[in-house]
Amino acid sequence: MVKIKDIADAAGVSTATVSRVLANKPHVRTEVKERVMQVVQKMNYRRNRVAQNLRSNTSKIIALIVSDIENPFFQRVSRAVDDTAFEHGYSVMLCNTGEDSTKEEASLNLLRDENVAGVILSPTQQALDNFRNDIDFHMPVVIIDRHVDNLDIDNVIIDNVQAARILTSHLIEHGYQRIGGIFGRGSTTGRERHEGFMQALKDHNIKPATDLIKFTDPKEEDGYSMTMKLLQNPNRPEGILTSNSLLAAGALLAIRESKLVIPDDIAMVSFDNPTWAKLVDPALTVLEQPTYEIGRTAAELLIKRIQDPTRSNRQVVLKTKLIIRQSC
Protein backbone atom coordinates (compact mmCIF):
# COMPACT_ATOMS: atom_id res chain seq x y z
CA MET A 1 0.00 0.00 0.00
CA VAL A 2 1.51 3.28 -1.07
CA LYS A 3 1.92 5.82 1.69
CA ILE A 4 2.49 9.51 1.97
CA LYS A 5 6.24 9.05 2.20
CA ASP A 6 6.27 7.35 -1.20
CA ILE A 7 4.42 10.25 -2.73
CA ALA A 8 6.78 12.71 -1.09
CA ASP A 9 9.80 10.90 -2.44
CA ALA A 10 8.39 10.52 -5.92
CA ALA A 11 7.41 14.17 -6.08
CA GLY A 12 10.65 15.34 -4.53
CA VAL A 13 9.01 17.09 -1.61
CA SER A 14 8.48 16.39 2.07
CA THR A 15 5.56 14.54 3.59
CA ALA A 16 4.46 17.78 5.16
CA THR A 17 3.98 19.33 1.76
CA VAL A 18 2.06 16.35 0.47
CA SER A 19 -0.17 16.46 3.49
CA ARG A 20 -0.77 20.15 2.92
CA VAL A 21 -1.68 19.58 -0.69
CA LEU A 22 -4.05 16.77 0.21
CA ALA A 23 -5.75 18.82 2.87
CA ASN A 24 -5.97 21.79 0.54
CA LYS A 25 -4.09 23.98 2.96
CA PRO A 26 -2.57 27.30 1.88
CA HIS A 27 1.13 28.04 1.47
CA VAL A 28 2.07 25.72 -1.33
CA ARG A 29 2.96 26.83 -4.84
CA THR A 30 0.45 25.79 -7.47
CA GLU A 31 3.26 24.29 -9.45
CA VAL A 32 4.22 22.01 -6.56
CA LYS A 33 0.61 21.28 -5.83
CA GLU A 34 0.06 20.10 -9.35
CA ARG A 35 3.15 17.97 -9.34
CA VAL A 36 2.06 16.29 -6.13
CA MET A 37 -1.43 15.72 -7.42
CA GLN A 38 -0.04 14.10 -10.52
CA VAL A 39 2.06 11.70 -8.51
CA VAL A 40 -0.92 10.95 -6.29
CA GLN A 41 -2.93 10.12 -9.39
CA LYS A 42 -0.22 8.08 -10.98
CA MET A 43 0.55 6.03 -7.90
CA ASN A 44 -3.09 5.64 -7.05
CA TYR A 45 -2.53 6.91 -3.58
CA ARG A 46 -5.29 7.00 -0.97
CA ARG A 47 -4.93 8.46 2.46
CA ASN A 48 -5.07 6.04 5.34
CA ARG A 49 -8.05 7.15 7.38
CA VAL A 50 -6.95 5.23 10.41
CA ALA A 51 -3.68 7.11 10.68
CA GLN A 52 -5.48 10.32 9.92
CA ASN A 53 -8.02 9.61 12.62
CA LEU A 54 -5.35 8.74 15.18
CA ARG A 55 -3.30 11.81 14.55
CA SER A 56 -5.94 14.45 14.05
CA ASN A 57 -8.59 12.82 16.18
CA THR A 58 -11.31 13.18 13.59
CA SER A 59 -13.41 10.59 11.89
CA LYS A 60 -15.94 10.60 9.10
CA ILE A 61 -18.09 7.87 10.50
CA ILE A 62 -21.31 8.31 12.39
CA ALA A 63 -23.21 5.49 14.01
CA LEU A 64 -26.87 4.65 14.25
CA ILE A 65 -27.99 2.44 17.09
CA VAL A 66 -31.50 1.14 16.71
CA SER A 67 -33.55 -1.07 18.96
CA ASP A 68 -34.96 -3.22 16.18
CA ILE A 69 -33.44 -3.32 12.76
CA GLU A 70 -36.42 -5.24 11.46
CA ASN A 71 -38.94 -2.60 12.35
CA PRO A 72 -39.91 -0.73 9.16
CA PHE A 73 -39.80 2.47 11.14
CA PHE A 74 -36.08 2.15 11.73
CA GLN A 75 -35.47 0.96 8.21
CA ARG A 76 -36.77 4.17 6.78
CA VAL A 77 -34.86 6.12 9.39
CA SER A 78 -31.68 4.26 8.44
CA ARG A 79 -32.21 5.11 4.85
CA ALA A 80 -32.55 8.77 5.67
CA VAL A 81 -29.52 8.78 7.91
CA ASP A 82 -27.49 7.03 5.27
CA ASP A 83 -28.56 9.50 2.59
CA THR A 84 -27.85 12.51 4.73
CA ALA A 85 -24.54 11.21 5.97
CA PHE A 86 -23.38 10.46 2.46
CA GLU A 87 -24.27 13.95 1.32
CA HIS A 88 -22.02 15.34 4.03
CA GLY A 89 -19.18 12.94 3.34
CA TYR A 90 -19.87 10.71 6.30
CA SER A 91 -20.48 6.98 6.39
CA VAL A 92 -22.71 5.21 8.80
CA MET A 93 -22.28 2.25 11.05
CA LEU A 94 -25.46 0.51 11.98
CA CYS A 95 -25.86 -1.35 15.24
CA ASN A 96 -28.86 -3.30 16.37
CA THR A 97 -29.55 -3.70 20.08
CA GLY A 98 -32.80 -5.64 20.06
CA GLU A 99 -33.78 -3.62 23.15
CA ASP A 100 -30.95 -5.30 25.00
CA SER A 101 -29.23 -2.77 27.19
CA THR A 102 -26.12 -4.89 27.52
CA LYS A 103 -25.65 -4.94 23.82
CA GLU A 104 -26.45 -1.27 23.69
CA GLU A 105 -23.74 -0.48 26.18
CA ALA A 106 -21.29 -2.69 24.33
CA SER A 107 -22.06 -0.85 21.13
CA LEU A 108 -21.64 2.55 22.71
CA ASN A 109 -18.30 1.57 24.18
CA LEU A 110 -17.11 0.11 20.95
CA LEU A 111 -18.07 3.20 19.02
CA ARG A 112 -16.20 5.32 21.47
CA ASP A 113 -13.16 3.10 21.13
CA GLU A 114 -13.40 3.40 17.38
CA ASN A 115 -13.52 7.15 17.81
CA VAL A 116 -16.59 7.62 15.63
CA ALA A 117 -17.61 11.20 15.08
CA GLY A 118 -21.02 10.81 16.68
CA VAL A 119 -24.01 8.60 17.38
CA ILE A 120 -27.71 8.61 16.69
CA LEU A 121 -29.42 6.52 19.29
CA SER A 122 -32.84 5.21 20.16
CA PRO A 123 -32.00 4.26 23.72
CA THR A 124 -33.38 1.48 25.86
CA GLN A 125 -35.22 2.42 29.02
CA GLN A 126 -32.20 1.36 30.99
CA ALA A 127 -29.99 3.76 29.10
CA LEU A 128 -32.48 6.55 29.59
CA ASP A 129 -32.35 5.94 33.31
CA ASN A 130 -28.58 6.07 33.20
CA PHE A 131 -28.74 9.42 31.46
CA ARG A 132 -30.39 10.84 34.53
CA ASN A 133 -27.37 9.73 36.48
CA ASP A 134 -25.33 11.91 34.27
CA ILE A 135 -23.82 9.47 31.86
CA ASP A 136 -21.09 10.88 29.67
CA PHE A 137 -20.99 9.59 26.14
CA HIS A 138 -17.60 11.14 25.35
CA MET A 139 -18.98 11.95 21.91
CA PRO A 140 -21.78 13.85 20.20
CA VAL A 141 -25.11 12.08 20.49
CA VAL A 142 -28.60 12.71 19.24
CA ILE A 143 -31.49 10.70 20.51
CA ILE A 144 -34.43 9.72 18.38
CA ASP A 145 -37.83 8.18 18.97
CA ARG A 146 -37.50 8.33 22.75
CA HIS A 147 -38.09 11.30 24.94
CA VAL A 148 -35.34 12.92 26.96
CA ASP A 149 -36.08 15.92 29.12
CA ASN A 150 -33.91 18.13 31.27
CA LEU A 151 -30.88 16.76 29.56
CA ASP A 152 -28.30 18.41 27.41
CA ILE A 153 -28.81 16.23 24.38
CA ASP A 154 -30.21 16.85 20.93
CA ASN A 155 -33.45 15.01 20.53
CA VAL A 156 -35.84 14.42 17.64
CA ILE A 157 -39.22 12.96 18.35
CA ILE A 158 -42.88 13.24 17.62
CA ASP A 159 -45.62 14.24 20.03
CA ASN A 160 -46.73 10.74 20.92
CA VAL A 161 -49.41 11.77 23.37
CA GLN A 162 -51.07 14.07 20.90
CA ALA A 163 -50.72 11.56 18.08
CA ALA A 164 -52.26 8.74 20.07
CA ARG A 165 -55.05 11.05 21.08
CA ILE A 166 -55.85 11.87 17.48
CA LEU A 167 -55.72 8.28 16.38
CA THR A 168 -57.88 7.07 19.26
CA SER A 169 -60.37 9.86 18.75
CA HIS A 170 -60.69 8.90 15.13
CA LEU A 171 -61.69 5.44 16.24
CA ILE A 172 -64.13 6.74 18.82
CA GLU A 173 -65.71 9.18 16.44
CA HIS A 174 -66.57 6.33 14.14
CA GLY A 175 -68.84 5.03 16.85
CA TYR A 176 -66.62 2.48 18.53
CA GLN A 177 -66.82 2.54 22.31
CA ARG A 178 -65.10 -0.53 23.71
CA ILE A 179 -61.56 0.02 22.54
CA GLY A 180 -58.56 -2.18 23.09
CA GLY A 181 -54.99 -0.94 22.97
CA ILE A 182 -51.73 -2.83 22.58
CA PHE A 183 -48.65 -0.86 23.47
CA GLY A 184 -44.95 -1.50 23.36
CA ARG A 185 -43.46 -1.92 26.78
CA GLY A 186 -40.11 -0.75 27.92
CA SER A 187 -39.99 2.58 26.15
CA THR A 188 -41.26 6.09 26.74
CA THR A 189 -42.89 5.79 23.36
CA GLY A 190 -45.31 3.07 24.42
CA ARG A 191 -46.16 4.85 27.64
CA GLU A 192 -46.80 8.15 25.96
CA ARG A 193 -49.02 6.58 23.35
CA HIS A 194 -50.93 4.90 26.11
CA GLU A 195 -51.34 8.22 27.81
CA GLY A 196 -52.74 9.86 24.69
CA PHE A 197 -55.04 6.88 24.27
CA MET A 198 -56.39 7.37 27.78
CA GLN A 199 -56.82 11.08 27.24
CA ALA A 200 -58.91 10.48 24.13
CA LEU A 201 -61.17 8.13 26.05
CA LYS A 202 -61.55 10.72 28.73
CA ASP A 203 -62.26 13.43 26.17
CA HIS A 204 -65.21 11.38 25.02
CA ASN A 205 -66.32 10.31 28.46
CA ILE A 206 -65.56 6.69 27.86
CA LYS A 207 -64.57 4.61 30.80
CA PRO A 208 -61.40 2.69 29.89
CA ALA A 209 -61.68 -1.08 30.09
CA THR A 210 -58.45 -2.02 31.77
CA ASP A 211 -58.67 -5.62 30.65
CA LEU A 212 -58.50 -4.41 27.05
CA ILE A 213 -55.23 -2.57 27.51
CA LYS A 214 -52.03 -4.52 27.09
CA PHE A 215 -48.35 -3.77 27.28
CA THR A 216 -46.02 -6.16 25.54
CA ASP A 217 -42.82 -6.49 23.56
CA PRO A 218 -43.31 -4.62 20.31
CA LYS A 219 -43.02 -7.72 18.13
CA GLU A 220 -45.33 -9.41 15.68
CA GLU A 221 -45.72 -12.57 17.77
CA ASP A 222 -46.70 -10.54 20.77
CA GLY A 223 -49.19 -8.50 18.79
CA TYR A 224 -50.72 -11.75 17.70
CA SER A 225 -51.00 -13.34 21.11
CA MET A 226 -52.24 -10.18 22.81
CA THR A 227 -54.90 -9.69 20.18
CA MET A 228 -55.97 -13.27 20.60
CA LYS A 229 -56.41 -12.61 24.29
CA LEU A 230 -58.46 -9.53 23.56
CA LEU A 231 -60.66 -11.41 21.14
CA GLN A 232 -61.25 -14.21 23.59
CA ASN A 233 -62.48 -11.71 26.11
CA PRO A 234 -66.21 -12.45 26.61
CA ASN A 235 -66.78 -8.77 26.08
CA ARG A 236 -64.44 -8.30 23.19
CA PRO A 237 -63.40 -4.86 21.92
CA GLU A 238 -65.13 -3.15 19.03
CA GLY A 239 -61.92 -1.55 17.96
CA ILE A 240 -58.20 -2.06 18.50
CA LEU A 241 -55.29 0.32 18.42
CA THR A 242 -51.73 -0.94 18.12
CA SER A 243 -48.74 1.21 18.88
CA ASN A 244 -46.53 0.07 16.03
CA SER A 245 -46.64 -1.77 12.74
CA LEU A 246 -45.22 -5.03 14.05
CA LEU A 247 -47.97 -5.28 16.63
CA ALA A 248 -50.44 -4.35 13.90
CA ALA A 249 -49.27 -7.20 11.71
CA GLY A 250 -49.75 -9.65 14.55
CA ALA A 251 -53.15 -8.21 15.38
CA LEU A 252 -54.29 -8.46 11.80
CA LEU A 253 -53.27 -12.06 11.67
CA ALA A 254 -55.14 -12.86 14.85
CA ILE A 255 -58.28 -11.11 13.63
CA ARG A 256 -58.11 -12.91 10.31
CA GLU A 257 -57.64 -16.23 12.03
CA SER A 258 -60.62 -15.56 14.26
CA LYS A 259 -62.72 -15.14 11.12
CA LEU A 260 -63.69 -11.63 12.06
CA VAL A 261 -64.06 -9.01 9.39
CA ILE A 262 -62.66 -5.52 9.58
CA PRO A 263 -64.24 -3.07 10.15
CA ASP A 264 -67.68 -4.65 10.58
CA ASP A 265 -66.86 -7.02 13.42
CA ILE A 266 -63.93 -5.08 14.71
CA ALA A 267 -62.18 -1.87 13.70
CA MET A 268 -58.45 -1.38 13.69
CA VAL A 269 -55.98 1.49 13.61
CA SER A 270 -52.27 1.62 14.21
CA PHE A 271 -49.23 3.75 14.53
CA ASP A 272 -46.76 3.63 11.63
CA ASN A 273 -47.39 3.32 7.93
CA PRO A 274 -45.52 0.31 6.56
CA THR A 275 -45.69 -0.57 2.88
CA TRP A 276 -48.33 -3.17 3.48
CA ALA A 277 -50.81 -0.91 5.27
CA LYS A 278 -52.34 0.03 1.94
CA LEU A 279 -52.09 -3.50 0.55
CA VAL A 280 -54.20 -5.33 3.09
CA ASP A 281 -57.95 -5.49 2.68
CA PRO A 282 -59.39 -3.32 4.01
CA ALA A 283 -56.49 -0.92 3.90
CA LEU A 284 -55.34 0.11 7.35
CA THR A 285 -56.01 3.52 8.83
CA VAL A 286 -52.77 4.64 10.42
CA LEU A 287 -50.97 7.43 12.11
CA GLU A 288 -47.90 8.00 10.01
CA GLN A 289 -44.66 9.21 11.52
CA PRO A 290 -42.37 11.29 9.33
CA THR A 291 -39.76 8.54 9.42
CA TYR A 292 -37.54 9.84 6.68
CA GLU A 293 -37.64 13.32 8.18
CA ILE A 294 -36.73 11.96 11.57
CA GLY A 295 -33.64 10.29 10.19
CA ARG A 296 -32.63 13.26 8.14
CA THR A 297 -33.14 15.73 10.95
CA ALA A 298 -31.23 13.58 13.39
CA ALA A 299 -28.31 13.19 11.01
CA GLU A 300 -28.23 16.90 10.30
CA LEU A 301 -28.36 17.79 13.97
CA LEU A 302 -25.56 15.34 14.67
CA ILE A 303 -23.33 16.66 11.93
CA LYS A 304 -23.90 20.22 13.06
CA ARG A 305 -22.98 19.25 16.59
CA ILE A 306 -19.87 17.48 15.39
CA GLN A 307 -18.83 20.62 13.62
CA ASP A 308 -19.66 22.80 16.58
CA PRO A 309 -19.72 20.91 19.87
CA THR A 310 -20.57 24.04 21.84
CA ARG A 311 -23.80 24.57 19.96
CA SER A 312 -26.90 24.75 22.12
CA ASN A 313 -29.04 21.65 22.33
CA ARG A 314 -32.42 21.43 20.80
CA GLN A 315 -35.43 19.18 20.77
CA VAL A 316 -37.15 18.86 17.42
CA VAL A 317 -40.75 17.68 17.47
CA LEU A 318 -41.94 16.58 14.07
CA LYS A 319 -45.50 16.50 12.81
CA THR A 320 -47.39 13.27 12.32
CA LYS A 321 -50.18 12.56 9.87
CA LEU A 322 -53.42 10.62 10.21
CA ILE A 323 -53.97 8.56 7.07
CA ILE A 324 -57.57 7.52 6.82
CA ARG A 325 -58.25 4.30 5.00
CA GLN A 326 -60.92 1.67 5.42
CA SER A 327 -60.17 -0.27 8.55
CA CYS A 328 -62.35 1.87 10.76
Binding footprint of its own copies on the chain (CB under 8 A):
1, 46-51, 53-54, 59-61, 69-70, 75-76, 78-79, 82-83, 86, 91-96, 103, 107, 109-110, 112-115, 138, 220, 249, 252-253, 256, 274-276, 278-281
- Count other C-beta atoms under 10 Å from residue 108's C-beta: 23
Q: Is 41 a binder of DNA (CB under 7 A)?
A: no
- Rounded to an integer, what distance in angstroms lies between the CA atom of residue 148 and that of residue 168? 25
Stretch that binds DNA, among 1-9, 60-68, 72-80, 194-202 (CB under 7 A): 1-9
- Nearest residue to 218 via CA among 196, 250, 266: 250
Give whichever of 93 and 228 is closer to its own copies, judged by the CB atom. Answer: 93
**Which member of 28, 166, 253, 318 binds DNA (CB under 7 A)?**
28
Q: Are 318 and 156 in contact (CB under 8 A)?
A: yes
Residues with Cβ within 8 Å of 245's Cβ and at least 6 positions away in sequence, in order, are 71, 72, 73, 270, 271, 272, 273, 274, 277, 286
- Rounded to an integer, what distance in angstroms lies between the CA atom of residue 170 and that of residue 165? 8
Give whichever of 138 and 319 is closer to DNA, judged by the CB atom. Answer: 138
Q: Is 13 a binder of DNA (CB under 7 A)?
A: yes
The entry of DNA, its own copies, none near residue 12 (CB within 5 to 8 angstroms by kind) is DNA
CB of 50 to its own copies, least distance (A): 5
The entry of its own copies, DNA, none near residue 93 (CB within 5 to 8 angstroms by kind) is its own copies
The entry of its own copies, DNA, none near residue 285 (CB within 5 to 8 angstroms by kind) is none
**Which member of 51, 106, 110, 324 binds DNA (CB under 7 A)?**
51
CB of 55 to DNA, least distance (A): 3
Residues with Cβ within 8 Å of 148's Cβ and at least 6 positions away in sequence, in order, are 128, 131, 155
CB of 170 to its own copies, least distance (A): 21
Residues with Cβ within 8 Å of 312's Cβ and at least 6 positions away in sequence, in order, are none
Helix residue ranges per DSSP H, the chain: 4-11, 15-22, 30-43, 49-56, 72-87, 101-113, 125-132, 160-173, 188-203, 220-232, 245-257, 291-307
The entry of DNA, its own copies, none near residue 78 (CB within 5 to 8 angstroms by kind) is its own copies
The entry of its own copies, DNA, none near residue 17 (CB within 5 to 8 angstroms by kind) is DNA
- Nearest residue to 189 via CA among 160, 217, 150: 160
Q: What DSSP letter does each residue of 161-227 carry, written as one string?
A: HHHHHHHHHHHHHTT--SEEEEEESSSHHHHHHHHHHHHHHHHTT----GGGEEEE-SSHHHHHHHH
Q: Is 56 a binder of DNA (CB under 7 A)?
A: yes
- Of residues 97 through 156, those in contact with DNA by CB under 7 A are none
Q: Is 29 a binder of DNA (CB under 7 A)?
A: yes
Q: Is 52 a binder of DNA (CB under 7 A)?
A: yes
Task: Give me the residues that bind DNA (CB under 7 A), please.
Answer: 1, 3-5, 12-17, 19-20, 22-23, 26-29, 31-32, 45-48, 51-52, 54-57
